[in-house]
Amino acid sequence: MEMEGYYGKKSKWPKPMFWGLTAFLAAVGIGLGVIIGHFTAPKGPECAVPTPDSNVGSTPMPGVNVIDPINAANIEENLRYFTKVPHIAGSPAERSNAEYIRDKWIEQGLDSAKLVPYDVLLSYPNDTIRNKVSILEDGNEIFHSRLEEAVLRPGDDHPDVVPPFNAYSYQGEPEGDLVYANYARVEDFEYLEKTHSDIKLNGTIIIARYGKIFRGNKALNAQAAGAKGLILYSDPADYAIDDGDIKVYPDGWWLPETGAQRGNTFVSDAKGDPVTPGYPAKPFAFRIDDYDTALPKIPVHPIGYGDAQLLLGNMTGEEVIDEWKGHLPVTYRLGPGFNDSSRNVKMTIHTTRETRTTYDVIGFIRGEIEPDRYVVIGNHRDAWVYGAVDPSSGTAAFMEVSRVFGELRKSGWKPRRSIVFGSWGAEEYGLLGSTEFVEEFQRVLAARAVAYINVDSAVTGNYSLSVKSTPLLYQAIYAASKKVPDPEDLSTSLYDTWRDRLPADANDPNTLPRIKNMGSGSDFAPFMYRIGVPAMSMTFYYKYHSLGISSYPVYHSVYETFYYMKTFLDYDFLRHQAVARLWAEVARDLAESVILPFDCTDYVTKITGSMDTVRTAYEAQMAAQGITFDYIYSALANFSAAATEFEKVISQTDMKDLMALRRVNDQLMQLERAFIDPLGLPDRKFLRHIVFAPSSKNYYAADAFPGIVDAMYRIDEALDQDARWDIVKQQMAVTTHAIQSAVSTLQDVLAFDG
Amino acid sequence: MEMEGYYGKKSKWPKPMFWGLTAFLAAVGIGLGVIIGHFTAPKGPECAVPTPDSNVGSTPMPGVNVIDPINAANIEENLRYFTKVPHIAGSPAERSNAEYIRDKWIEQGLDSAKLVPYDVLLSYPNDTIRNKVSILEDGNEIFHSRLEEAVLRPGDDHPDVVPPFNAYSYQGEPEGDLVYANYARVEDFEYLEKTHSDIKLNGTIIIARYGKIFRGNKALNAQAAGAKGLILYSDPADYAIDDGDIKVYPDGWWLPETGAQRGNTFVSDAKGDPVTPGYPAKPFAFRIDDYDTALPKIPVHPIGYGDAQLLLGNMTGEEVIDEWKGHLPVTYRLGPGFNDSSRNVKMTIHTTRETRTTYDVIGFIRGEIEPDRYVVIGNHRDAWVYGAVDPSSGTAAFMEVSRVFGELRKSGWKPRRSIVFGSWGAEEYGLLGSTEFVEEFQRVLAARAVAYINVDSAVTGNYSLSVKSTPLLYQAIYAASKKVPDPEDLSTSLYDTWRDRLPADANDPNTLPRIKNMGSGSDFAPFMYRIGVPAMSMTFYYKYHSLGISSYPVYHSVYETFYYMKTFLDYDFLRHQAVARLWAEVARDLAESVILPFDCTDYVTKITGSMDTVRTAYEAQMAAQGITFDYIYSALANFSAAATEFEKVISQTDMKDLMALRRVNDQLMQLERAFIDPLGLPDRKFLRHIVFAPSSKNYYAADAFPGIVDAMYRIDEALDQDARWDIVKQQMAVTTHAIQSAVSTLQDVLAFDG
């Protein structure tokens, strides 16, 4: 019953009256845009007079209206189009979608749209030898896992559906005894070692459930433990929770027993094409040989919980502790091996690694006043199968956003800054398309991109908006979300419901909505962590925090269909519409505002709070080593003072002084770059953001200052403590320097203590 | 006789009439500056109207006159002031000079001037145990080298003169047999090994002459050969060439037998404070323990040729080949050891390594229209002793340049862009002051510095102007040097004489003057190679190319006195004046020009020529490995087309459109940055410029594309050829990518082939 809310408290369709009003408002918006565009454009010998903007001063003035014209029915139609056939990266369907988007963008009115190809390392199941997990009895196969997911609805059976596999898996046919390792986290293997040292993992095959951490890390953990192979399955405890009346696809939103989660196993700070780290995968590229240091050296394969039940239900060994138990109707045992000792398990994995071309599509609306400043908005296009959630719900919304901007452009409107539309290829393999693009254009993007706004899956649930962002953009997101109607109650705003359902502080009646740190996992990563472009990402989300699940249930399975989306997540596409509206409005604000809508004070507040957390956790330990937080807090105080002073400068900036405007905008744009250190984090040189980056050691404890937190992670147990303490000291200094660099950035002349 | 030219063909003093004219022109110049400043300033609600500039279009219009007011007598007075006492880095005298300069700059009219301290690792002779090289006979000292250089002129005997030493030398008292190793280059040691494998270098003490390569490399080479110590001396063949009537200090410009060359032995791609590579040496800094990987692990000590004669004249072993012979009246022998076997040599070296504070002085004139664009001009302030050449001739000129800009500023003039004046500390120890400054402000300098103009020693000879520069600045330098009168013949220009004496192509009657690639060795390095700020450096030079000497003779000795400068190099200070005028004029041009005076086509021409050289040298070898130059030449063709197209964009830019001007200026400024790769060169991560950097392997063959050239260096003899070829392939790709990044930079919207 508790689940009911997530299946969709269906909103009433908007009444015809509403659409008429919307169309009217849209027309007014476009007209207004043209007028503003006219006044904003410096023409002939007169000087440019920038339009005051809602973000400057206290008199809000509207820009063009990009909210009302966003149409839910169009998005539905788009999603139907993009989910017709599977469109895995490197396939003809992915290319054909790319060409479709390019042509559509031109038709919609963008100034240009082009395909940008990259020749990258991809990975597929072998065409002739099928991947499987078998049970052997005296060497003879008596069972094997499904070669493909069952077709549960007519029409889900397109011939191009790729069977479940883990991209970049090592090839091989290992045989061995099965050991159950829960989620295959570091702590799971440590528990095994500490409490069951009699179980020798060397040469075994690990079975572990999906969830909690990235599957690539599970593979590396199993490999480090000495396993010959890793079987990943989706346990009902995580993907089909029995709420008394459990319904699985096609009857409900949960994963059926035949579904398996595809996904890559590529672990790297670089991401992007595994063989061209740091550089674009163009024809001239040098491709490294030792790329598979970032890829597992053992076979990895995903199965459904139907198959898993057979494996787990026949295991021997001690029964697991409660925390390790899933929801299958079996007694979960550790192994090693089956209760019938004549049986063992064999993996047959012939997944390839091959170079293919993937395509980005780059659309462009040239800015009128500052064409060399880019607001980049992006979404990936490739899907494991139909991708109705991931990413095509985002792609469907994207095409509606581009339509609205294209219409405006056709009517003569030009934004102050350029808008770049990026439809990325091969995200599912490890952010390949976006990373290669950032690598190819890193100098110009670092010099010119003011922000990157990402939507991967637009709708993964129907509960609330969910946002990840740099603190710089908090205020822009709040402001935009207040303008967007709530999808369930059009009389209230998206902001209100978001705040109610995901409050930053549930006990505070004046709470703001919660905005999460960015973490990793989609195309914002290369923008934010490699070159310091302020970034955000958003989705409409399920009520994840009370469920404790790691993703929507059918994630990366064949059951991510249009039917699934329309039936269980967004019947009326109003959630898609809300995300698209917010996306368009934030982009418009960034592209039109005379002064960039960035809030430096929020950055100060956010990172000071994060540093307080670090200090609380580690101050005593560090003090014993003679390490002080004084320098960092002194730098934070400088940052705070500089931000306050800079806000004064902004408020006093003559809105007619174009050079002064460009100057403060450059400072705002450069602020995130101040946290970029070209030397990168320790052992992760391609993660260059000193404040925000996914922690390499602990996905939960750390959400900021990864350099310090990673170095402190269980330092008392480290083998070479002196070296570890040196890294801590070095990272404390690097952090201080990065914050001081932010201070320098907020001053337009060189500033130093003297 | 051939030498006569260098002793100073003394120019007549300017006649009184001339000075009157100069003063008049200066007054007019200032007045004009005020008028232009008035029109250039956007005031109140009117829009800014930029002044057309000589660099834009075909109608040259003058900016303020900074050439005529530069006064030779002032420079002479400045030099007298700065050479009064020794001012080694980290000394009270260095600090006191810093404070003097700060106060002077304020007095001269700069908007601000401040000391910026850095706590860096420096190195000094031990106060109590003197450094020396001894000859022992049966263990008893029968001779030791001079503890200090002889005082040859009254007044040269200041108590703060530091005895000759090599900074950062390892401490120790090694004893052993002496072996002569010519210049201690890699090829010298290879020659020894190949032709005299009977001479075991392990445990010996090497004596080698100064010249040809950086002394730090000599130390590393000797150490690698197994030597326990290295004695460096200045051979008359390199520092006191007998031209029939040789005159040494104080009678001539050559080095006397008692003179020895001080200097650091710090070899690093990072330079700057050896213990804080990559980060500023501020109180919060983390200081590494393993810094001495960049410092020699053997004692190194410099002596004069008087002492060297005693050591060399008593050696045993085979006589050396002609190329190894110096000009001492001894038979040069290889050793090992002395002809009296009861004797050996001992080094007593107790040079310290200690942390002290060095100071940069940063002056600032705030730009009126683009205060956030910096033209940086700089000179180091520290000297080994009196430093009349190195660097105080530059400092003397610098203070006159700042005086002229200060006077203009006082009269109301403001440049379009800010001018930053940097007086660097501790350059002699390895570019410490400038590098720490660049490290502290690397984000803002990378975003804002349009150029860096360096003068280390303003006058090292009296023959011709000599310039090192990025190709971007060639035209600005030519243009400025045409405006500066020649010091020997005021009726002609500095440009004309420069072209006559140092032609790019002596056989071409229409030749341009020669401008050298930057190489390393002064404070431009961190600007150019670390963050891609277009840089240049200049000096008035001796006729070095026919002499084959590596520096002016008294370089880094106590004999670098005011007397030396005035008597032998620049009696009337007109060469100082010419350098100061050129310096000021280039800075003015960069600070005032509406469009930056950068020439992209020169960059194309220069690097295409350099790549032709690389191709000629290596194409056959590479082809055999399947490596093609096609991608690089295709990128160069794109660069050429983009530069041509961009010049058209510039010529069509509306000079009243401030945003368009800022845009093309940003592109011009960013062009050098396009060659900066954050990953740096192989094994030299702090050298990030892909086109220009000193070669690590071969100082003569390579002047561009160090990544490729270093990887190709004697590749056929490499132990791990496959790995080396991989580096070659990777660097070919990195180079292609860097050139393509330059192409992207010249386009204001994202450009790709599609």
pLDDT mean across residues, chain A: 90
B18 pLDDT more than 90: no
A701 pLDDT more than 60: no
Helices and strands, counts by H and E, chain A? 23, 18
Our CA-based measurement puts residue B684 at a distance from the nearest CA of chain A, in whole angstroms, of: 12
Selected residues 663-682 of chain A with any CB under 8 Å from a CB in chain B: 663, 666-667, 670, 673-674, 676, 678-679
Selected residues 363-422 of chain B with any CB under 8 Å from a CB in chain A: 364, 366, 369-372, 374, 418, 420
Residue B34, classified by CB atoms within 10 Å of its CB into exposed (0-12), middle (13-18) or buried (19+), is middle
Q: Chain A partners of B673 at a C-beta cutoff of 8 Å? A: 443, 447
Looking at the fold, whether A581 and A469 belong to one and the same domain comes out as yes
Looking at the fold, whether A539 and A502 belong to one and the same domain comes out as yes
Looking at the fold, whether A437 and A536 belong to one and the same domain comes out as yes
In a domain, B57, yes or no: no
In a domain, A53, yes or no: no
Contact state of A670 with B748 under an 8 Å Cβ cutoff? no
Per the rule left: phi > 0, alpha: psi between -120 and 50, beta: everything else, A398 is alpha
Query: What residue in B sits closest to A632 (Cα-Cα)?
Result: B284
Task: Specify whether the CB–CB gap between A469 and A669 falls below 8 A.
Answer: no
Higher-pLDDT residue of A286 and B19 is A286
Assess B662–A contact: CB distance below 8 Å, yes or no.
yes
Selected residues 435-464 of chain B with any CB under 8 Å from a CB in chain A: 440-444, 447
B734, B744, B745 member nearest A279 (Cβ) = B734
**H/E segment holding residue A390:** none
Q: Chain A partners of B440 at a C-beta cutoff of 8 Å? A: 737, 740, 752
Q: Quick: pLDDT tens for B659-674.
A: 999 999 999 999 999 9
Query: What residue in A sits closest to B113 (Cα-Cα)?
Result: A754
Looking at the fold, whether A415 and A494 belong to one and the same domain comes out as yes
**How high is the pLDDT of residue A751?**
67
Looking at the fold, whether A452 and A475 belong to one and the same domain comes out as yes
Contact state of A372 with B749 under an 8 Å Cβ cutoff? yes
pLDDT mean across residues, chain B: 90
CA triplet A304, A307, A310: central angle to 5 degrees? 145
Q: How far apart are CA A313 and CA A328, in angstroms?
A: 9
In a domain, A57, yes or no: no
Query: What residue in A sits closest to B370 (Cα-Cα)?
Result: A659
**How high is the pLDDT of residue A518?**
85
Looking at the fold, whether B84 and B163 belong to one and the same domain comes out as no
Query: What residue in A sits closest to B275 (Cα-Cα)?
Result: A730
Provide ipTM, 2 decimals.
0.90
In a domain, A55, yes or no: no
Size of interface A-B (CB pairs under 8 A): 170
Q: How far apart are CA A662 and CA A658, in angstroms?
A: 6
- What is the CATH classification number for the domain harbouring B112? 3.40.630.10
For the ranges B59-63, B416-420, B708-712, which has the lowest average pLDDT?
B59-63
Contact state of B750 with A447 under an 8 Å Cβ cutoff? no
A666, A730, A754 member nearest B115 (Cβ) = A754
**How high is the pLDDT of residue A9?**
33
Contact state of B374 with A748 under an 8 Å Cβ cutoff? no
For the ranges A331-335, A523-527, B56-60, B692-696, which has the lowest average pLDDT?
B56-60
Contact state of A752 with B116 under an 8 Å Cβ cutoff? yes
Looking at the fold, whether A31 and A88 belong to one and the same domain comes out as no
Query: What residue in B sits closest to A418 (Cα-Cα)?
Result: B749
Assess A635–B contact: CB distance below 8 Å, yes or no.
yes
Please list the residues that pair with A347 across neighbouring strands: A133
**How high is the pLDDT of residue A55?**
37
Domain count, chain B: 4
Picking from A392, A380, A388, the residue whose alpha carbon sits closest to that of residue A425 is A380
Selected residues 105-144 of chain B with any CB under 8 Å from a CB in chain A: 114-116
Cβ contacts of A701-705, under 8 Å, gap ≥ 24 = A701/A617, A703/A517, A703/A519, A703/A610, A704/A517, A704/A606, A704/A607, A704/A610, A704/A611, A704/A613, A704/A614, A705/A610, A705/A611, A705/A614, A705/A735
**H/E segment holding residue A541:** strand A535-541
In a domain, B278, yes or no: yes
What letter does residue B627 receive in the DSSP assignment?
-
Query: What residue in B sits closest to A419 (Cα-Cα)?
Result: B749
Last residue of a domain, one of A561, A592, A623: A592
- What is the CATH classification number for the domain harbouring A650? 1.20.930.40
A43 pLDDT more than 60: no
Query: What residue in A sits closest to B672 (Cα-Cα)?
Result: A443
Compute the average pLDDT of residues A379-398: 98
Q: Quick: pLDDT tens for A614-627.
A: 999 999 999 999 99
What is the band of A693 on the pLDDT scale with cuts at 50, 70, 90?
confident
Query: What residue in B sits closest to A752 (Cα-Cα)?
Result: B116
Q: Chain B partners of A101 at a C-beta cutoff of 8 Å? A: none
Looking at the fold, whether A325 and A378 belong to one and the same domain comes out as no
Coil, strand or helix at B691:
coil
Per the rule left: phi > 0, alpha: psi between -120 and 50, beta: everything else, A511 is beta
Q: Chain A partners of B674 at a C-beta cutoff of 8 Å? A: 443
Our CA-based measurement puts residue A592 at a distance from the nearest CA of chain B, in whole angstroms, of: 15
Q: Chain A partners of B420 at a C-beta cutoff of 8 Å? A: 750
In a domain, A365, yes or no: yes
Cα torsion angle, B133, B139, B140, B142, sign:
negative
Structural domain boundaries enclosing A221: 126-350
Our CA-based measurement puts residue A93 at a distance from the nearest CA of chain B, in whole angstroms, of: 19
In a domain, B33, yes or no: yes
Assess B737–A contact: CB distance below 8 Å, yes or no.
yes
B444, B658, B748 member nearest A744 (Cβ) = B444
**How high is the pLDDT of residue A150?**
97
What is the band of A243 on the pLDDT scale with cuts at 50, 70, 90?
confident
Looking at the fold, whether B560 and B473 belong to one and the same domain comes out as yes
Assess A172–B contact: CB distance below 8 Å, yes or no.
no
Helix %, strand %, coil % of chain B (to 5): 40, 15, 45
Q: Quick: pLDDT tens for A45-90.
A: 333 333 434 333 333 445 899 999 999 999 999 999 999 999 999 9
Looking at the fold, whether B453 and B312 belong to one and the same domain comes out as no
Q: Chain B partners of A116 at a C-beta cutoff of 8 Å? A: 752, 754
Q: Quick: pLDDT tens for A462-488.
A: 999 999 999 999 999 999 999 999 999
B51 pLDDT more than 50: no
**How high is the pLDDT of residue B242?**
80
Last residue of a domain, one of B308, B327, B350: B350
Looking at the fold, whether A487 and A570 belong to one and the same domain comes out as yes
Contact state of B370 with A279 under an 8 Å Cβ cutoff? no
A141 pLDDT more than 50: yes
Last residue of a domain, one of B330, B350, B370: B350
Looking at the fold, whether A138 and A195 belong to one and the same domain comes out as yes
**How high is the pLDDT of residue B34?**
38
What is the band of B697 on the pLDDT scale with cuts at 50, 70, 90?
low
In a domain, A243, yes or no: yes
Our CA-based measurement puts residue A264 at a distance from the nearest CA of chain B, in whole angstroms, of: 27
Q: Chain A partners of B636 at a C-beta cutoff of 8 Å? A: none
Please list the residues that pair with B184 across neighbouring strands: none
Q: Quick: pLDDT tens for B145-198.
A: 999 999 999 999 999 999 999 999 999 999 999 999 999 999 999 999 999 999
Token duo for residue B262? 């001080």
Query: What residue in B sits closest to A289 (Cα-Cα)?
Result: B726
Query: What residue in B sits closest to A727 (Cα-Cα)?
Result: B286
Helix %, strand %, coil % of chain A (to 5): 40, 15, 45
SS (H, E, C) B235-271: CHHHHCCCCCCCCECCCCCECCCCCCCCEECCCCCCC
Our CA-based measurement puts residue A290 at a distance from the nearest CA of chain B, in whole angstroms, of: 12
What residues contact residue A661 under an 8 Å CB cut-off, 6+ apart? A50, A594, A595, A653, A655
Tell whether omega for the bond before A336 is within 30 degrees of 0, i.e. cis.
yes
